[in-house]
Amino acid sequence: MDAVPRHHFLPERIWLDDGEGGYEFCDQHSDAERWYTAAYADAPVVTQVNDGAEPEESDVWASSSASAPSIVLRMLEDLDVHDGAHVLEIGAGTGWNAGLLAHRVGEANVTTLEIDGAVAARARTALHNAGLYPEVVCADGEKGWPPQAAYDRIICTCSVRRVPHAWVKQSRPGGVIVTAWDNPWITYGLLRLEVNAGVGEGRFSPHSAFMLMRDQRTDLRIYRDVVRDEHQPDESRTGLAPWDVTGPDIDAQFAIGVRLRDVWYSRQQNPDVKGVLTRLWVATTDATSWAAVDYDGEHDDQFTVWQHGPRRLWDEVETASRWWRDHDRPTPARFGITVTAEEQRFWLDDPGSPLDG
């Protein structure tokens, strides 16, 4: 990494974690010490917000970033490139990762794709200023890049919910695909696939979170987009605490996410409902079913549940949580996926044990 310094690839304007779940602006010229500290910290740096639009002060969200150096290194280790390997990168971002790859395998062997034209142009400039000239293409990475196929290695630096079969199709036999993973329940995990006979297969590993591929950003994440005044939910009780499935136990969250791949949750503090301190909302990505679980602030073993729609979502969450406990609380590393032209099949421990079987 010393041969390709990270700070050469960061824009003058960056956004840093404000410690309260948001971001604050940092300029290289007006706050150089803080900017350089961020450039060499082992932490992500947000390099674009709101897809490049000028943000409102109260509505700033990250849309492009430089990943933490330790995560970049981990993904490159998983990629396991060799001299002269032909590499496709999905998500050029700052260009730093492409620069590291170009330094390792030769710039003529690296193609990097970026869907955002402004981000692609900035990455290309940063690479050229560093004396590196891999091919930088403004294109939708979900489709891969057929003109330079087939590839020995494909790496995706944004997270995906489904692995495009185009990547498998454009890989050489024995090729490797490394990508960050995401599902509506939790953004977490890396996935390493080996490709043979048109099939990609491999396991997850428990590392970090990345921004979702733009064409896969489809969630509703606000309960007001799902709940309607005319809905008449069914009331019940549960002993499963909301924090047991949405709290700090990443293993539990990951397992529920791979079991319920179209379900998301959102917490609401002080929902202005008598006797309710916090409410957990759970809903399907198509907004046809939802559930709410209320905590009164006093009782940790019983909670009120409201459910609406064709699916009893909290019942499904309880079933997924029970499945996880019954299978010895598997970590992400015990899960895997098989990607074919027809489907993505999730499994536990080995491909012969599909989750949906």
Is 184 within 8 Å of 316 (Cβ atoms)?
A: no
Tokens of 175: 């090729």
The residues, any chain, with a CB within 8 Å of residue 228's CB and separated by 6 or more, are: none
Distance, in Å, from the CA atom of 303 to the CA atom of 315, rounded to the nearest integer, reads 13
DSSP assigned state of 184: S
Q: Is 344 exposed, middle or buried (0-12, 13-18, 19+ CB in 10 A)?
A: middle
The H-assigned helical ranges of 200-312 are: 242-246, 250-259
Across the chain, the runs of DSSP E, i.e. the strands, are 13-17, 23-27, 45-49, 62-66, 87-90, 110-114, 135-138, 151-160, 171-181, 190-196, 199-205, 234-238, 263-269, 278-284, 290-295, 303-308, 335-339, 344-348
Question: Cβ atoms within 10 A of the Cβ of 310, count?
Answer: 7
Structure tokens at 49: 């917000």
Tally the residues of the chain: 357
Q: What gap in Å lies between CA 174 and CA 152, rounded to an integer?
A: 8
What letter does residue 141 receive in the DSSP assignment?
G
Residues tagged active-site: 67
**How far, in Å, CA of 53 to CA of 61, rounded?**
11
Strands 190-196 and 171-181, bridge-based pairing: antiparallel
